[in-house]
Structure formats: structure tokens, C-alpha cells
Structure 1
């Protein structure tokens, strides 16, 4: 059992990091009432956390290489705990959003270093088992979040969701320091501060502009934010192309396979982004309390968790193209099933769609990494993993901002009508992602080799990958 204690330490922090991405979904109406915050302010309570994660995943990978994954992991836990205390004591929306941003900084450090620690500590079959457990904990964190947030909000306070982190983080830090050795290694090239800043300005300005568009319409401020995002993106691309050791080699996006896989990663987050607005509808239109709203959202989380466990065990070695494409197809279909909402809809009206979407999310989750690694040369695997985690966190952030515009479009529109538009858009994103996956996601070498005796199928896949 002793070799698995490091995995316990890693999974405990990962559970907390993922729990806090979903625990507030049903607590937001209570936060809005308590702090007198509009919906745009509530969006930022969620968005600023995932935005910090998206911006910092790549640079924290570099920091983990330079200072050691264990040290970055412990530092991330410490920052996460302090920020959680700040969230719990926030007297207004501004300080809550600021504390959530700092919490995202800690979460990014925890997430990236957790992957690095598992890769360094486990080999062969042990690594496969470790990744299986890690994937199950990932699903569990997302599944428990809405229900736990509902219980804490209804029977204690939304602030209790943050206070709960403190003793758990203390235990994770103590366990990490006790069972993990220092893995610091010297690193030759410098930290890419300018690239990180440009990427942060790009994503922050884009999300800010889209959020303001939903609140105030397409004003000059919104256009200025979008223009700033475009300029910052150009600066980021220029900077990364000039570096001998780029944080992200943007030339990879010239490969159709890699670009398509990154779009699929973004598309896989659309259904999660829609959950925020589903929670608002359940509580504002249907008058459900936080616990009942959390229960109404559980079909997606439970179906995703169960499917992820099953897929991780039974689909090892299956074609990422087929698995990711089918997962996105199911996710989009589930969202389409929820797009028929009207004034007579009830909480049970979304149950089937949420379950189908959850099956799709759980199916594609374990296969997404295989799709990413198959789309790049072998020596770019680490960079590809960093890009995947970045886009995975950027997806919900952009999704919430874009869906916020759709949710509020139309003066005086009922939440049910707004949610219907959100799910139509989420369904379209899922189905487009599925089409891209079926066409462009390449097959790994092992899959091509297994299929090669069958009418030269392996050669066809190889040629398609080379062309992409």
C-alpha cells in the first residue's frame, strides 16, 4: 500500500481543485442575493477561476520543471487554501471575484504538477492504474460539486463551501511533504513571462468583452475589448514564433489534426458551461432550493462518472477518433434533447438530456489525451498535454461568456427561453466537434498497426496524418 500513498496525496488536491469548479453552480443565486450581485457579476465568480486556470496551465508546467513538481504542488495547495479563506470572508462581489482569481492560480499549480508527479512516480502498469484512479477522482470531484454545494448552501451558507477546503488542504500538504521527495531539477531556458502576459490579456479581454455584451449589448467598450484581445493574440503568436523554447509552439496549429483536436477539447466543455444557466433557471423560474437544484443536475455528473470508469477499463487501445467523435456526438445530442424547454417545463424535463450528455462526456474524457498525443510528433508530447489542459479550462470560460449573451438576449426574455437558446448553441458545438473528430483526429500508431491487415487501412490513416 505504501507506494500508493503519493497518489492519495495527489488525488486529494486534485479533488479539491475540481470540486471548486462545480460547487458554486447551485450556490450562485444565494451569493447574488447575499451580496446584491447581478448575473454578470455572478458569471465572473465562476469565470475568473477557470480563466486563471486556462492562462496559467502552460507557464506552471515550466515552473514545475524548474522548481520541482512537488514544490509547485505544495505552493499551489497553500495559495488555494489562503484564497479559499478570502472567498469565505468576502464582504462583496469584488473581493469574492479577486479571491476566486487567486484560487485559480493555486488550482493551476496543483493541476499541472499533479500530472507531472504521476508521470514521474509511476511506470508501466502502475502508471495505468494510477491514471485510472486519477481519472475516477476527476469525475468524482465534478459529480459531487453540485450536490455538495446545494447541501452546504441550504443548511449552512455558501461560504461553507470554501471553508471546507481548509482542513482538507492542510491534510493534503502534510501528506505530500511526508510521502513525496523533492524532485527539483535545473532548467536551462527562462520562464516565458511576456508570452504568459500576452495570453492573459488576450483571454481576459475576450471574456470581459463577451460578458459585457450580454449585459449591455455591443457597445464601444465591448468592441474595444474584442479588439484588444485580437491584438494580444497577434503579439502572443509573434512572441512564441521567435522563441527557441516556446511555451506553446503555435506552428502546431498548422497541422489540421492538432487544430481539430484542440477544437474538440473546447467543444467538450460546452455542456458544462450550460450548467450555470440551468441552475439559474431551476432556482429562479422553478423556485427550487439549492439541494433540489443540485439533485436535478446530478444525472449529468453521475452518468459522466460511471461512464468514465467503464470506458477507462474497457476502451483501452480503442480508436481515439471513434471514441472522441462518439462522445461529442452524444454530448451534442443530449444538449439538443434539452433545447425544447418552455414555460411548462419542470426539473425532470432536463434529466434525460443531462444523462445522455454525461455519457458522452464520460466516454470522450479518457480518450482525449490519446487523440492529442496522436496529433503531434512524439517529442512534443509534453507541450501537447499543456495545450490540452489549457484549452480544457478555457472552454468553460468562453462558453459561459458566449452563452451569457444568448441567455439574456431579448428584453424581458424568460430564463426558460434563454436556456433554450443556450442548449441549441451547445448542441451545435457538440455536433460540429463530433464531425471534426471523425474526419481529422488521427489514429495512434498502435491502432494503425492493428488495422493494417485490413485492406491497407493503416496506410490510409498514416497518409491522412502526414497530410494533416
Structure 2
């Protein structure tokens, strides 16, 4: 791993090195994206194969989200300090080894532990994927490279449901994890041979390890309490982890306020718009995370779909976002983000209400499922790119990377909490997820809750987002372009699309 750093002017996208860097970053991020879309589809078969309770399936999803959300900000900083390629490769290898353990898991306990280890690898490779693109190419090729990264990554997202369903129905659910091994081998081979190393020479100070640990413990305590509560344990069994989690959250805030180089600079929340947009993010990605958690179960258990058909059922959402997110982002730049961030969630809520028609009596995908997922996808196209752009425009330019990282973490936390809380809210627990009647009853309530979260997000946007277009000369930070939205928007916003470009040493920064 001794490749030289890229030239000061950057690498051309059309060069051999430029094409290799793009392939490496797309395959690496695509591996993590495939895993995120495939696992939800496989949950019913995992439960059947391991005899797992619903709580174990919740932890199968949340074990990964917990470590990913707690460490993703730290992962980006490690890459900047020690080398983006090095940390990215470590993340890919870590992710692959954890995937092998997932595939060989003899019981749900081992699977959950392996998924948590996967999240650590994801926290290293996810920010590193886009960081490689941003730091390698010359400025005039950077936007084109990010656009190519987004489009090709979107293709990976579209392939995910088909591949996941095929593997689950064919060789078995363990292969949804084992498929990562050959992909990881290709990524590492390309990175070691063709990708130049880069790092932030100005990075200094100590890493906020304590902050990362406290954040993870806070999320773990609250998540454990919510998941345990659905199994009707004693009040003490719920109250103790909840109190411990909240105490860790309080300690995290105190630590971040006092540290000279915090993982989460609380000063970014002095912007009311930034705080408001993260509240909107929490509501929207909780709703979307809830849908993608329960809809595959409803389709397979209640409606009798195969895993492949269940995976393909939501494909229109990804296709619509590939085709329409960029035009929707351009529209938001012209008219301002308030209307897209208000109308988009409301349209999404209508799609979720239409999904309540999916039931054991569902006879036609075209009549009962397709209209709902199309409406949902159209709504998501309207809000994903404007949400990212508004978050980045709400802070100073120097904080753009931190802002996008915080927004991504907020989306992961939202998914983590909704997966923990939704079964409790709809009365589904233990082995009831195997009963078509119980699943169908819970699904209708879940869609109402998720639609309500979208409505709350629309209300917040209508009240708190300023009217009119966010122009470069009016915004505090960069007005983000929507290139990343098709790639990242389904599960989380992009990690660092708005990282400010720094001039070479010795040259002054250009005025805005």
C-alpha cells in the first residue's frame, strides 16, 4: 500500500487512475448499500432458519445501525488523519470478515454480534468512499466524478432487491452476507494497486473516542429498552437500560461541550435552520426506515410473496429516485426548499396510506402495491435532494463536512429508533411475526404511524424553512448540488457531499 499521493492539481477522471478510483469507491459503497437493502428482505427467512424471535430480528438490523451511527463521524476523521485509502481498505476488510461471521452464525446471538462488527466496518468505509472521490480528482472533474459515483451507486441500489431476493430464495439467506467476500476482495485489490493515498495535512488534535463510546452507549441503552418493552418484561428491565442510556446521552453532551476537538461540535446547532432540518430528517428517515423494515415482512408473511417478489416490489422507489432526484433538486434551487420539503413528505404519506391496502387478500401487484410505491417514490424524490442542500446551506462553509456527517448520523439514528419502537407501538412481539393475521394487523398501524411522521416533517418544513430560493450569496454554507441524492437518499443522506474545497498550500481562499 505504497501508492503515491495524487498530484497537487488532482487526477483526471478520464485517466486510468481516475477510472480505477471511481470503480473502487463505487464497489466499496455499493457493497455496504447492498447489505443494507438485502438484510431487510431476508428477515423472515433468517427468523425461520435460526428460530429467532422478533426482538432478535430487530437486533439483527439495529446491531449494524448502532455501531454505524455511533462511529461514522469518527470514521471520517480517521481517514482524514491517517490516510483515506488506508482507512477505507481497513473498513472493507473488516466489513468482509464480519460478513463471513454473519454467514456462518449458528444462532441469533452470534449473528447480532457479527452485525455490530459489520457496522464498525461500515463506519470506516462509508465516509471513505466519497472522501476518495472528493480528495483525488482535480476540481474541474470533481462534480462529474461525484455524479458518476452517485449514478453507478444508484444502480447498485437497484440491483440489491433483485439480488437479495434471488439469494434468499435460491442458495439461502446466509449468502446475502457471503456475497460480500468476493466483492471486498476486488475492492481491496483495486485500492492497493491503483488508488493513490491522500490525507488532510492540517488535521490535528486528539480523537474524541470518549464521545463516540458515550454516543453508542446512549443509543444502545435506549434501543435495548424499547426492544425489551415489546416482550412485556418487568418495569425494572426496561427502566434500567433506558436510564443508563439517557445518562450516557447527558454525559455525551457535556463531553462534547468541553472538548477542544469534539466529534459533534454543538456550535453547529446555533443555526435554527440546521437544527430544524435535522428534526425533519429524524421524522422522514424514521418513517422510511419503518416502511423498509415492515413492508418486506408484510409482503412475505401476510401477502405470500417470495423473497424475490418482495424485493422487486419496492424497486420503483429506487428507479424513480435515480431518474427524478436530480431534476427535483434543480427545481428546489429555483423555487426554494420550503415547498419541496412540505409537499414531498405529504406525497410520501399518501403513498404509505395506500400501502395499507396490502393484505392477505392482495391479488394483484399492479393494482394493490405498485401505485403505493410509485407515490411513495415520487414524494421521496421531492424531498431528498432539497433536504441535503438546506442542511449544508444552514451552516458556515467550514462546517459543511461536519453538517453533512451530523445529518447522515441523524438519519441512521432515526432508523435505529424506529426499528426498536415500531413493533412495540403496533403490538407485535416474540414469534407473532410468523402469523399472517398478526403481521397484517400490525402493518396497517405501522403505516399510519409512518405517514404521521411524514406529516409532522411537512409541518416542520412549512413553518421553519424560509421561503424563496437559497442562493450562494445568502446561505451560510454551500448550496449543495443534488448529485448524491439518488445514491444515498433511500437509507441516509450523503456523508460529506459539501465538504469545502481547500486551496493548495500557499494560495489564498477565493471569496464566496
What TM-score do you get using the length of structure 2 for normalisation?
0.82
2:331 is equivalent to residue 308 of structure 1: no
User: Structure 1's 174 and 416: CA in aligned 2 closer, same or farther, altered over 3 A?
Assistant: same
State the alpha-carbon separation in 2 of the partners of residues 345 and 203 from structure 1.
37
1:230/1:198 CA distance change after superposition, 3 Å? same
Instruction: Tell me the alpha carbon deviations over residues 346-366 of structure 1, each in whole angstroms, 9 at most, x when there is no partner.
Output: 563233222211222233333
Match of 1:107 in 2: 122
User: What is the Cα deviation at residue 89 of structure 1?
Assistant: 0.9
3-state secondary structure, aligned to 2:109: helix
Aligned CA distance change for structure 1 residues 305 and 445 (closer, same or farther; 3 Å): closer
Match for 1:390 among 406, 409, 413?
A: 409
Q: 2:300 aligns with which of 283, 287, 293?
A: 283
1:162 is displaced (CA, Å) by 1.4
Secondary structure of 1:288's aligned partner: coil
| Residue deviations 1:87-126 (CA, integer Å, cap 9, x gap) | 1111111111111111111111111112322221235452
Match of 2:342 in 1: 325
Equivalent residue, structure 1, for 2:273: 257
SS of the equivalent of 2:369 reads helix
In structure 1, the gaps of 5 or more residues are 450-468
- Given the superposition, is the C-alpha separation of residues 175 and 135 from structure 1 closer, same or farther in structure 2, using an over 3 Å criterion? same
Q: Which moved more, 1:223-232 or 1:99-108?
A: 223-232
Which residue number corresponds to residue 445 of structure 1? 471
The 1:11/1:369 distance shift into structure 2, 3 A limit, reads same
Match in the other structure for 1:164: 179
Residue 217 of structure 1: CA displacement?
A: 6.0
Q: 1:434 aligns with which of 436, 458, 464?
A: 458
When the two chains are superposed, the root-mean-square deviation of aligned CA atoms in Å is 2.4
Deviation string, structure 1 residues 368-402 (Cα, Å, up to 9, x no partner): 33111111122211211210121122221112112
The structural deviation recorded for 1:333 is 2.4
Deviates more, 1:42-51 or 1:365-374: 365-374
Which of 84, 105, 108 is the matching residue for 1:90? 105
Which residue among 244, 256, 269 is the counterpart of 1:240? 256
Q: Is the 8 A contact 1:274 1:400 kept in 2?
A: no
Task: Flag structure 2 segments of 5+ consecutive residues without an equivalent.
Answer: 1-13, 476-512
Distance 2:423 2:269 in 1: 28
Query: 1-side partners of 2:251 and 2:96: how far apart?
Result: 34
The structural deviation recorded for 1:233 is: 1.1
Q: Tell me how far apart the structure 1 counterparts of residues 406 and 117 of structure 2 sit (CA, whole Å).
A: 21
Q: Work out whether residues 135 and 366 of structure 1, in 8 Å CA contact, stay in contact via their aligned partners in 2.
A: no
Distance 1:364 1:246 in 2: 30
Q: What secondary structure does 1:27 align onto?
A: helix
Shift in CA distance, 121/322, structure 1 to aligned 2, threshold 3 Å: farther
In the alignment, the residues of structure 2 paired with residue 82 and residue 365 of structure 1 have an alpha-carbon distance, to the nearest angstrom, of 33
Show the counterpart of 1:464. Answer: none
Measure, in 2, the Cα distance between the counterparts of 1:163 and 1:341: 32
> In structure 2, what is the Cα distance between the partners aligned to 1:110 and 1:248?
20
Indicate whether 1:425 and 2:470 are aligned.
no
Contact 2:333 2:470 in 1 (8 A): no
Kept after mapping to 1: 8 A contact 2:299/2:358? no
Residue 249 of structure 1: CA displacement? Answer: 1.6
For residue 274 of structure 1, what is the aligned residue in structure 2? Answer: 291
Question: How many pairs does the alignment contain?
Answer: 449
Q: Does the Cα contact within 8 Å between 1:9 and 1:176 map onto a contact in 2? A: yes
More helix by proportion, 1 or 2? 1
Question: How do 1:41-440 residues align onto structure 2 when only pairs under 5 Å count?
Answer: 41-185=56-200, 187-216=203-232, 219-269=235-285, 270-308=287-325, 310-311=327-328, 319-339=336-356, 344-346=361-363, 348=365, 349-408=368-427, 414-440=438-464
Deviations 1:424-458 (A, max 9, x none): 11111112112222332355333859xxxxxxxxx
Q: Distance in 2 between matches of 1:292 and 1:316?
A: 37
- CA–CA distance in structure 2, aligned partners of residues 339 and 105 of structure 1: 36
Give the TM-score taking structure 1 as reference length.
0.89
User: Does 2:23 correspond to 1:8?
Assistant: yes
Does the CA contact (< 8 Å) of 1:317 and 1:447 recur in 2?
A: no
Are the equivalent residues in 1 in contact too, given 2:303–2:359 (CA < 8 A)?
no
For each residue in 1:203-240, what CA deviation from the matched residue of structure 2 results, as whole angstroms up to 9, or x when unmatched? 11111111112232673212222222211111011000
